[in-house]
Amino acid sequence: MRRWVAASLIAGGAIAAEAAPDTSLRPAQRPDLSKQEAQNENLQLAAVAAVRPAARPAAGIAADAEPVAADANFQGWIEGFRSRAVNQGINASVLDKAFSGVSYDPEVIRRDRNQSEFTKTIWSYLDSAASALRVKNGKAALRKQQARLDQIEAQYGVEKEVVVAIWGLESSYGAFRGKMDVIRSLATLAFDSRRGAFFEGQLLAALKILQAGDVPARKMTGSWAGAMGHTQFIPTSYLDYAVDFTGDGKRDIWSDNPVDALASTAAYLKQFGWVQGQPWGVEVTLPKGFDYTLADREIEKQPSEWAALGITGLDGHAVGDHGKASILLPAGSEGAAFMIFGNFAVLERYNTADAYVIGVGHLADRIKGGAEIQGDWPRGDRALTLAEREELQERLTGAGFDTEGIDGKIGPKTIGAVRDYQVANGLTPDGYASPRLLEKLR
């Protein structure tokens, strides 16, 4: 994949703002909320500006390192990087402008180190992602850009509401595009040893953008992790997928005009197989006695086949045959259930988190006039902490239900281990990694 994100990962119904693998999508902050929205909704998305626990010691740079000493080492690293960049075809004059006045940024490292500690339940995330204010603002943004969005939809075959929903979650419709110097941020992260190779690649891509003349160095601003513009593209994604939809000769995703960014997002989704007219997913009702082992991403059936098993839309009728679909229970048997289609996986290319994909899809539906999610959530549950998720994996593996790794990420292998444990112990096999399950394991 071409993008990477400090992705919100499902963790027993929780969103954990953890660093996703370098093969994932893109580094991007979750959208900031305006003060008015935060006050009105009393909710906060998993934004990089969120208050988080104290940083753990950094790999390669001590958390309490003196900024002056760190910057001295950083300047030495830049000299070594310059020769590598020149070998990659970057002009010396571009490097001079890009690194003029650039210093080590300890705030970037602090934010990078604290991602894995922040957790949020999926229902809290969705309450904010598709809040009344965000829906209202989304409808207003769509109306304002209606003509251009219609053109974008016609050219790329991606529904305008989906593009607007991504815009809304990534930057609150352009209100929070990020003001940090991308070269400084990426250089700091590349200098750091934790994911240095990945971020050096992003830094080289950023320099190629500068060399192409799309944006001046000091106007290349974005999030702390290098995500840029209205829909938060990282440099490699920009190089591969950004488009000049306005026809001014530049692929401008940074300015107040969002058109190039919106078109680039549609182009990105089209590249990865978006099917126009197919829903991302549909909320469904499960029958009594449903076999929860069938709620598995690997099990796909036509909606008519699911209907034969008693799974219907909220209206009691079979879901339309939009293609093969799986059943997703993001918060287990006590939460809402969804029938998800191929477009769900396309949105995952933008951000791997189920909650993000549901958030985008549901916000798009709401902007289009759809109803709120009707299913209940286990709101009495809290999110598992990183330490608890690791403990859950350790205890499952120790009990003979191998999670194939202890990383604190509740992915398919851990969900499968949870389900196997539940079957063996006479529990509802919904794969939900809850605090109650951890307590039972203890």
Q: Which residues are catalytic?
A: 170
Tell me the residue length of the chain. 442
- Let me know: does 302 contact 321? Beta carbons within 8 Å: yes
C-alpha to C-alpha distance for 68 and 427, rounded to whole angstroms: 56
The predicted-structure confidence for 198-207, as pLDDT tens digits, reads as follows 999 999 999 9
pLDDT value of residue 118 = 57
pLDDT averaged per 10 residues, the chain (length 442): 34 33 31 37 31 30 55 93 97 97 95 73 95 98 98 98 98 97 98 91 98 96 97 97 97 97 98 98 97 95 97 96 96 97 97 94 98 96 92 96 92 92 96 95 95
C-alpha to C-alpha distance for 7 and 438, rounded to whole angstroms: 24
CA angle 268, 272, 273 (to 5 degrees): 120
Q: Is the dihedral of CA 216, 99, 171, 375 positive or negative?
A: positive
pLDDT value of residue 67 = 62
- Let me know: does 25 contact 5? Beta carbons within 8 Å: yes
Supply 44's token pair.
């906060």
What are the residues facing 344 on neighbouring strands?
Answer: none
C-alpha to C-alpha distance for 126 and 217, rounded to whole angstroms: 36
pLDDT value of residue 200 = 97
Q: What is the pTM of this model?
A: 0.84
Domains annotated for the chain, with CATH where assigned, are 281-367 (1.10.530.10), 386-441 (no CATH)
Q: With CA atoms as reference, report the closest residue to 295 among 260, 266, 268, 335.
A: 335
Phi first, then psi: give them for residue 261, nearest 5 degrees: -65, -45
